[in-house]
Structure 1
Amino acid sequence: MYTRKVFPFKEMMLWTRFETYLFIIIAIAEVLLFIYSDQIIQFPFTPIALIGTAVAFIIGFQSNSAYGRIWEARQIWGAIVNSSRTLGMMTQDFINNDHAKNPLSEEELHQERKTIIHRHIAWLTALRYAMRQPRTWEYVMNEKTNKEWANMIYVPEFKENFETTISQYLSKEEMNYIASKTNKQTAILYLQSNHLRTLKEKGLIWEFSFLELENVLEELFTHQGKSERIKNFPYPRQFASIMHYFTWIFLLILPLAMASQFGEIATKIAAKTGHCPNWITWLSVPFSVVVMWVFFTMNRIGRVGENPFEGSANDVPISAISRGIEIDLRQNLGEKEEDIPKGFEIRNDVQM
């Protein structure tokens, strides 16, 4: 989650600096080719304008699709916040001795509530760790500058051991149970439902209240499934590949077309004045680099947004959301402030 009002231009330039160097080299090489071929090797500007228009449409489509995935992921985790608060409220009010066959002390009731709340936090922990697991089609974090950004921010799932983290919320028996399960977040919800059924059989939860709590667990399953769908279904590769190829075709022929255009300008100036400075044609280099950088950066921003849980600085802040839920639930449970963890570290104005 980026907390600044705008993404600083300086950092964006650093983020794309290697490609910018490449664009400068390509532009200079093609201008030299144009000049030393006596303007025989050139490219008309009309086709490049048509190709640029097509590329702009494709990049726009990708950006909209990527933003749609990010926004859907944020809506899902917003719904998880609401369902978590509902579960916390119901746990506090529904577990009591009103229909108990063998009434428990207030301390014992509090322990039952605490077990359910902590198990729910374990579910959040398992889900966020699952969302951070790499997939074969996720490639953003393999790029050098993205790795640099990853080192500048704090992603808890990459720094903290899963077993150590989740063991704070589950008993040894529960840890042994989920250890053999591939989908640990699903296993935790099964444990939760089984515990609620046991409390219902003891009369510590009224049957109607039990159904309400089960409905909340159903909501959590739904949110989990939606989140896993985004994680496990990539942006269609055919669209991504076409966009990649079309963009680079455009970028590679643009400097030559720019040189041809500025060469025509130089010819017209020479025809009217009888002399034309050599630097006129070289103006195509900065203009080409600027246009190449704009198209490439738009392309790259769209690619970064394809997988909203990968761990880049612009992902949905699922770690911060989970920790916020945990703090909220444990405070309302009445735990001591020193026992409740603080929010995750913010580095370079980014909280994951």
Structure 2
Amino acid sequence: MLVKKNLSLKDIYKFAGQHLLWLFPWMLSVTALYYFTHWKFITIPWLPLSLIGTAVAFYVGFKNNQSYDRLWEARKIWGAMVNNSRKLSTMVKNIKGENSVSDESTDNIRKKIIHNHIVYLYQLREQLLRPVRWEHVSLYGAFGFYNQKRRDRIFKDFENELKEIHYLRYISKEEIQELQQFNNPATQLLDQQTQLIQKLLDQHSINYMQQIELQASINSFYDEQGRAERIKNFPFPRKYASFSFVFVCIFVFLLPFGIVGEFAKLGDEMIWLSIPVGVIVGFIYVVMELIGDYSENPFEGLQNDIPMLSICRTIEIDLLQMMGEKDIPKPIQPKNNILL
């Protein structure tokens, strides 16, 4: 997630500047062809071109709106994770049966639930970051390679923080190996939390009503995990996404043929102004398309994604402090204006 208030020209160039490498030569070639040949038949009247541009703008706007909905829903899911984790922790810590007696065994079970839950959050994050075939980091060719490099650079900046996850003190190596046998380890971790809550009931540390409340809290994570997996595993409808790209390409292809005719009316020397104008207009449409395209998939580890690592660390800190532990990790800090 980008945390700067305003993007610099350097940031904009990093995001979409590579498209200037074909926009400028295309506008230049059409302008030069018209200037040196005066072939008026290659020009396009501005009215039909403006109609195409308006239609494309509406279509791209619709796509961007729907893409933002996916991104914002993903953020709401992790916001709910934060709230529900705090609720679960305070209930696990404080809810006790009428005749319950606090002993070392019971305290260890309560602590194990919280530790297990922290592991669950990090595991869910890791599962959501696994690339699927329609994401940018899974593409072949130059664009896929470029986005893979982007992701690698971001992960390298947070190398130390990511290493800390693999040395979590909350789970043993044997438990890790056991989890690796399952297709969905995060779900199994939630199931283990249910088993631990059942142990509290068996030891009469909580009553049936309290067990129901605790299980309802666990169930809320199944719901939020399912919503996140739906976004991850169900792509933005490819026809909406693909045709938006195609329409932008058609408009940018036709754009210089319309602009050059308009500037030719102002005189031969003014024809060359169609190059910067065409590049600016084309770049605006390309960037609008890219914004929607990169907002479709909020769980692929790029700079526009949900900062799941930071959210997990925030929850971890809150839960450990609730349990009275002293060895508290530090919050994740932005690096190069990106929060992972």
Fold conserved between structures, TM > 0.5:
yes
Are 2:309 and 1:331 equivalent residues in the alignment?
no
Instruction: Name 1:281's counterpart in structure 2.
Output: 271
Unaligned runs of 5+ in 1: 267-277
Q: 1:294-333 counterparts in 2 under 5 A?
A: 294-333=284-323
Query: TM-score, with normalisation over the residues of structure 1?
Result: 0.88
The answer to whether the 8 A contact 1:200-1:206 is kept is yes
Q: Which residue of 1 aligns with 2:126?
A: 129
Q: Residue 265 of structure 1 aligns to a residue in which SS?
A: coil
Q: Select which of 125, 134, 139 maps to 2:136.
A: 139
- Distance in 1 between residues matched to 2:137 and 2:291, nearest whole Å: 10
In 2, Cα distance between equivalents of 1:204 and 1:172: 29
> Conserved in 1, the CA contact under 8 Å of 2:310 and 2:332?
yes
Which of 325, 328, 334 does residue 340 from structure 1 map onto? 328
CA distance in structure 2 between the aligned counterparts of 1:146 and 1:176, rounded to whole angstroms: 32
* Most deviating of 32-41 and 255-264: 32-41
Please state how far the C-alpha of 1:141 moved relative to its aligned partner: 7.0
What displacement does 1:153 show? 3.0
**8 Å CA contact 1:132, 1:157 repeated in 2:** no
Computed over aligned residues only, the root mean square deviation of the Cα atoms, in angstroms, reads 2.2
Tell me the distance in 2 between the aligned counterparts of 1:297 and 1:264.
29
Q: Where do 1:71-86 residues align within 5 Å?
A: 71-86=72-87
Distance in 2, matches of 1:191 and 1:140, equals 33
Structure 1 equivalent of residue 34 of structure 2: 34
CA deviations on 1:128-176 (whole Å, 9 max, x unpaired) are 11111100010257536545543553476998469834x5322345334
User: What's the CA shift string for 1:174-230, capped at 9, x where partnerless?
Assistant: 334322111011000111111111221111222211111000011111111111111
Q: What is the CA distance between 1:302 and its match in structure 2?
A: 0.8
Q: Secondary structure at the match of 1:348?
A: coil
Larger radius of gyration, structure 1 or 2?
A: 1
Residue 235 of structure 2: SS of its match in structure 1?
coil
Counting aligned pairs with the same residue, the percent is 35
Structure 2 residues without counterparts, runs of 5 or longer: none
Shift of 1:279: 2.4
SS of equivalent residue, structure 1 residue 3:
coil
Tell me, in whole angstroms, the C-alpha distance in 1 between the residues paired with 2:152 and 2:176.
31
Alpha-carbon separation, structure 2, partners of 1:104 and 1:218: 26
* 1:224-243 alignment runs, 5 A limit: 224-243=225-244
| 1:273 paired residue number | none
Partner of 1:269: none
1:151-230 pair list within 5 angstroms: 151-154=152-155, 160=162, 164-165=166-167, 168-230=169-231
- Aligned residue pairs, count: 334
TM-score (norm 2): 0.91
SS of the equivalent of 1:247 reads: helix
For 1:39 and 1:253, the matched residues in 2 are separated by 16
Q: 2 CA distance for matches of 1:54 and 1:332?
A: 55
User: Is the contact between residue 263 and residue 280 of structure 1 (CA under 8 Å) also seen in structure 2?
Assistant: yes
Q: Counterpart in 1 of 2:6?
A: 6
